[in-house]
A and B are shown apart, each in its own frame.
Chain A
Amino acid sequence: MDEPLESNGGALVGLKVVDITWALVGPTSTRFLADLGATVVHVETSGYADPARTAPPFKDATPGPERSGGFANFNANKLGLTLNLRNPVGRDVFLRLVRWCDVLVESFTPRVMPSLGLSYEALRVENPSLVMVSTCLHGQTGPDAERAGYGIQGAGQAGFTGFLGWPDRPPALPGAYTDFVASRMASFTLLAALDHRRRTGVGQHVDLSQIESSIHFVAPAILNFTVNGAVAQRTGNRVDGAVPHGVFPCRGEDSWVAIAIETDEQWKALAAAAGRPAWTSDARFATAAARAAHEPALEEEIAAWTRGHTAEAVELALQAAGAPAAAVHHEIDLGGDSQLQHREFWRKASHATLGTVVVEGPRVLFSRTPGAVRRVPTLGGDNSAVLRDLLGLDDAEIADLTIAGALD
């Protein structure tokens, strides 16, 4: 039976979070907290439901607002509440939540919350020690603060897209890359702000620009440009100083193995595992410098070997010899990875309309207070639990709210 308010024994049991974000960054930053036992109320408006509900994969390849694996994955372990923030009664409920919570996370463009009368300054009156995280692409200030953008724009603007792809083709898309960096930064900074509050009693408005925080992941390239004038390159799968380094074809449709040889020892291991000891005495391949000078020829030789084997077989053979290699898993085949199974990467969660669904488990394993994955919220599915059990409203008050359209 679904008991959404029952403690899951995780590290953050007792932490109270209001999440009015949508899509990926905000929701995943609070899912991290929910997995560890925080009580996270995810607020949507039925008239404009979370766009993550259109994110694949879908149950049995059939889209639907409650059939999205994306939404389930980004919001597992939370309580689902619908509220109309433009309705005065709904807004009043929201303020009750603000008084109740420790942390509020929002991801609108900067003018939205103030336009609703819900700026940090206004909310601080309700909850003087509130920690409020505002995250958007460009930050709360500056000439581009109001510019909307999705992951494609963010990844390009923060410098990542320029590092992906083949030299003879345009850059490739690395997905909504800045979303994934910013999500962790949001979790980390809000926990830091909470600790600061615990010590000082002082709340915080956290202004997290997804582009700014993500730029930390390309800091060495920034230095390489300023110090050495180096122009950022996309180099396919090759890298300076490690040869061979690439993705090689294996037996089967669209089947590949990644091989990254960084030392002479690993090179010898590769040659032995491939049954090609002659490679180590071949003048073209014997040293790192020679390999670099003959990289295309070397890649051809390796591909000729890998083509005859499955990716898993190549991975096993190379790893047994101590050479870094891994089959390039397709997303649909990831379940076959023994290491991910060992870490219980997939967890079952209860879902009001789909029964039991699978979501990803927490990425970091905690030895003593790991928490648990239990459930996925549905649109407004926890309205009663939130209003009655968290906010202490009685049935009459809840009926009044409903009639007033506060929960639409």
Chain B
Amino acid sequence: MLSPYRVLEISSDATQMCGHLFAEMGADVVVVEPPGGSSVRRRPPFAGGVAGPERGLWWRAYNRGKRSVTLDLDEAGGRRELERLVAGAHFLIEGEAPGWLAARGLGYDRLAAINPGIIVASITWFGQTGPKAHYAGADLVAFAASGTLSTWGDRDRPPVGMSIPQAMLHAGADAAAACMAAHWERERSGRGQHLDVSAQVSCTFLGAAHTLTGPWGDRNFERTGSGLKFGPLDLRMIYESKDGYMAGGLFFGSAIGPATRRLMGVVCAEGYCDAATRDKDWVAYTQLLLDGTEPLTELDRVQECIAAYFRAHTVAELYAVAREHDLLFSPVNTPEGLLADHQLEARGFWTRSFDSAWEAPVAYPGPIARFSGYGRAPALSAPRVGEHTAEILGVEVRPHPAGDESLRQPGAN
């Protein structure tokens, strides 16, 4: 769908998701790596636990379907080559520290002079300017500074972050959407612009508007671990099963109270509660608890009945029951569970292959969306270091032949 467009990606942890999304949509994404290879190649885990430029799982996951050029941007010759590439590119994605490119004469103003249509997305931990622009960043640090980290975990322990890095992935997704918005405008004006993406800000999004708590005059959102809290009500939302966990819990009210009725029907039928418990007024239950008609100890007892039922079954059994009775429960999936999920299987979501270099099976996620009028074969391999340098720098220096007329730059060679 985006095949006419050339995306240059000065490869780093910060840029790879943005480039990946463009590659998934068929764009011609070219990673620019230093002669020793992108730092992303050195990020563990590695295939078989053995480090190597083609063995990194992050590199493979997010750089499939891209091409690679090696350039030394600390050398004048490398910078000239980048400028030549910029002349024929539609987007440039970079994640260097603010000022790094400008210090090499490759700041946005210079790139726009070469190609007024170039859209440059700069992705950093805190942004291009400001009191924290030169802060040292990290995944946990970005989440901490965003407010989101404070909302995760148990109240009696420190806030807790995810055990798989995410912050730069959120920033990359924001960058990709912003690039396409700038592109829409470029089609009418012929001009690009500079997009400033901050991982700190991108992570605020996960706070779901709780960032407005202060200005709107509400009480702070407290972290509640594995449940939800409504005033005095503690609602468990993670239930342990025989071999894992299920996500979901008691819901009340007219819209989703009936799901609780169906859940309690199953719990009772299996002998984990009596009929009176099953037949509580789940639609009105919130009010009954809040006005004291129903003691809070009853809520705890009901949740323990549910917990006992869940502990007696496996995730697979419970998910089958949830589907059969239309319950608001889902597995807390592991990668193994995801690969076995019947919905994803039915949708043909996974691309499974065998990597002969790694001597191991691989599985890649399918398309980010399906389109009625577009499809693309999945990419199975990520480029070797500088694999396409000769073909891209030797031959394809002119503006991309499939590019739009309005993007012809004056003075390009």
Is B153 part of the contact surface with A, judged by Cβ < 8 Å? yes
Name A's interface SS.
mixed
Number of A-B contacts (CB under 8 A): 510
**CB within 8 Å of B: which of A186-217?**
186-189, 191-196, 198-199, 202-209, 211-213, 215-217
Is B185 part of the contact surface with A, judged by Cβ < 8 Å? yes
**CB within 8 Å of B: which of A239-264?**
239-242, 245-249, 254, 256-260, 262
**Do B136 and A322 touch (CB < 8 A)?**
yes
The contact sample of 12 A-B pairs, CB cut-off 8 A, is: A57-B212, A59-B218, A147-B323, A152-B237, A172-B225, A184-B174, A184-B177, A194-B184, A212-B365, A223-B364, A247-B161, A326-B142
Please pick, from B177, B204, B209, B249, the residue contacting A188 in the complex, using a CB distance under 8 A: B177
Q: Which of B191-199, B261-269, B271-279 has 4 or more CB atoms under 8 Å from chain A? A: B191-199
Nearest-neighbour CB distance to chain A for B259, whole angstroms, equals: 8
- Contact (A69, B218) CB under 8 Å given A235-B163, A367-B195: yes
**Do A170 and B47 touch (CB < 8 A)?**
no
Q: Which of B29-37, B98-106, B165-173, B289-297 has 4 or more CB atoms under 8 Å from chain A? A: B165-173
Taken together as a complex, chains A and B put the C-alpha atoms of A90 and B248 apart, in Å, by: 36
- B159 contacts which chain A residues (CB < 8 A)? 247, 256, 328
Nearest-neighbour CB distance to chain B for A226, whole angstroms, equals: 5
**Do B245 and A191 touch (CB < 8 A)?**
no
Is A218 part of the contact surface with B, judged by Cβ < 8 Å? yes
A87-99 contact mask (Cβ, 8 Å, vs B): 1 or 0: 0000000000000
- B135 contacts which chain A residues (CB < 8 A)? 319, 324, 326
Is A380 part of the contact surface with B, judged by Cβ < 8 Å? no
Is B381 part of the contact surface with A, judged by Cβ < 8 Å? no
Nearest-neighbour CB distance to chain B for A117, whole angstroms, equals: 19
Taken together as a complex, chains A and B put the C-alpha atoms of A217 and B292 apart, in Å, by: 44
The 10 closest A-B pairs by CB, nearest first: A156-B247, A57-B218, A260-B138, A342-B130, A191-B180, A258-B144, A358-B215, A153-B330, A225-B335, A184-B173
- Contact (A364, B57) CB under 8 Å given A32-B177, A227-B360: no
When C-beta atoms are compared, the residue in chain B nearest to A238 turns out to be B163
- Contact (A60, B161) CB under 8 Å given A156-B330, A222-B338: no
Taken together as a complex, chains A and B put the C-alpha atoms of A237 and B164 apart, in Å, by: 10
Please pick, from B2, B158, B195, B370, the residue contacting A192 in the complex, using a CB distance under 8 A: B2
**Do B2 and A213 touch (CB < 8 A)?**
no
- Contact (A357, B374) CB under 8 Å given A56-B210, A234-B163, A339-B130: no
Taken together as a complex, chains A and B put the C-alpha atoms of A359 and B221 apart, in Å, by: 17
**Do A191 and B181 touch (CB < 8 A)?**
yes
Taken together as a complex, chains A and B put the C-alpha atoms of A107 and B224 apart, in Å, by: 28
**Do B209 and A173 touch (CB < 8 A)?**
no
Contact residues on B (Cβ < 8 Å of other chain), bracket: 35 or more
Q: Which of B70-78, B344-352, B389-397 has 4 or more CB atoms under 8 Å from chain A? A: B344-352
**Do B372 and A56 touch (CB < 8 A)?**
no
When C-beta atoms are compared, the residue in chain A nearest to B333 turns out to be A159
Taken together as a complex, chains A and B put the C-alpha atoms of A217 and B61 apart, in Å, by: 10
Is A58 part of the contact surface with B, judged by Cβ < 8 Å? yes
Nearest-neighbour CB distance to chain B for A400, whole angstroms, equals: 32
**CB within 8 Å of B: which of A349-381?**
357-360, 363-369
Please pick, from A157, A248, A323, A358, the residue contacting B331 in the complex, using a CB distance under 8 A: A157
**Do A172 and B153 touch (CB < 8 A)?**
yes
- Beyond the given A60-B216, A159-B333, A365-B128, please list 5 additional residue pairs across the A-B interface where CB-CB is below 8 A: A69-B218, A220-B61, A359-B212, A364-B197, A365-B195
- A110 contacts which chain B residues (CB < 8 A)? none
Nearest-neighbour CB distance to chain A for B314, whole angstroms, equals: 15
